[in-house]
Amino acid sequence: MKLFHVPGYASLAPHIALREAGARFTLERVDLATGMTDAGRRLRDVHPSGHLGAIEIAPGDVVSETPVCMLWIAHQYPAAKLAPAAGTREYFTLAALLNEIATEIHMAYIWLHNPTFPAAAKATLQARLDETVDRYDAVLRGRDTLLTSGYSVADCFFYVTMTWALPDDPKPATRAGVQAFMQRMQARPAVQAARAAEGL
Ligand SMILES: N[C@@H](CCC(=O)N[C@@H](CS)C(=O)NCC(=O)O)C(=O)O
């Protein structure tokens, strides 16, 4: 199994989850400027969108889209208990969290970090993002994990997106729940190992 990755990008989320699961995998680093991997492959030859996260689970067979990669890992390694039992109410809460993190938080940061995106649109986007992350902050002031049932792949994904805050954003310092969550995440051996392997 190979995880396509760029250090610190969305691929860090499945990377953490794979380490939480004790999975055997290798990293294949992608150069986004050229679209080539460090194994000399053109990413789009095996994975047409070229977006991360993406996991090659067998030669030429790629599980893609970060929320789906996260669910795939949780299902492949049930002993790691990274997701509630499939089909339960709590499982769909996890699916909603993963979708919201991908569409509201991950995508917002992609545009906020894009120097060509207009400033007025960035302000609108930042306000919407703040509303979402403030809601997560309120949850994390009351408990340690996003799901009431405990640690899950949603925590891995949310953690990674929260490392992308813009340097001049004043909001993160006001979010006590998210700050404590980030400290707990950074203390996890899987997070430390994934970050170290990515040179972060
Ligand atoms: N819908 C995709 C979007 C992922 C995405 O845009 N990832 C960024 C990295 S954080 C990426 O691949 N950027 C490179 C590119 O768009 O070529 C997902 O959720 O996995």
**Cis-peptide, bond into residue 199, ω within 30° of zero:** no
- Look at residue 120 in the predicted model and tell me its pLDDT: 97
- Look at residue 49 in the predicted model and tell me its pLDDT: 96
Written as six digits, the tokens of 126 are 């930042």
Give Cα 58 to chain centroid, integer Å.
22
- Look at residue 18 in the predicted model and tell me its pLDDT: 98
CA of 142 to the centre of ligand 1 (A): 31
CA of 45 to the centre of ligand 1 (A): 16
Q: What are the CA-CA distances from residue 161 to residues 76, 98, 139, 183 (Å)?
A: 24, 11, 17, 14
- Look at residue 22 in the predicted model and tell me its pLDDT: 98
- Look at residue 181 in the predicted model and tell me its pLDDT: 98
Q: Choose among 17, 43, 18, 14: nearest CA to 30.
A: 43
CA angle 180, 191, 17 (to 5 degrees): 110
- Look at residue 50 in the predicted model and tell me its pLDDT: 95
Averaged pLDDT in 10-residue chunks for the chain of 200 residues: 98 98 98 97 96 96 98 98 98 98 98 97 97 98 98 98 95 97 98 98
Going by alpha carbons, the residue nearest to atom 7 of ligand 1 is 52
pTM assigned to the model = 0.97
- 187 φ, ψ to 5°? -85, -10
CA of 54 to the centre of ligand 1 (A): 9
Distance CA 109, CA 70 (A): 19
Whether 65 is in the pocket of ligand 1, judged by its Cβ within 6 Å, is: yes
Written as six digits, the tokens of 92 are 């769909």
- 159 φ, ψ to 5°? -55, -50
Distance CA 112, CA 2 (A): 29
Whether 102 is in the pocket of ligand 1, judged by its Cβ within 6 Å, is: yes
- Look at residue 189 in the predicted model and tell me its pLDDT: 98
Whether 52 is in the pocket of ligand 1, judged by its Cβ within 6 Å, is: yes
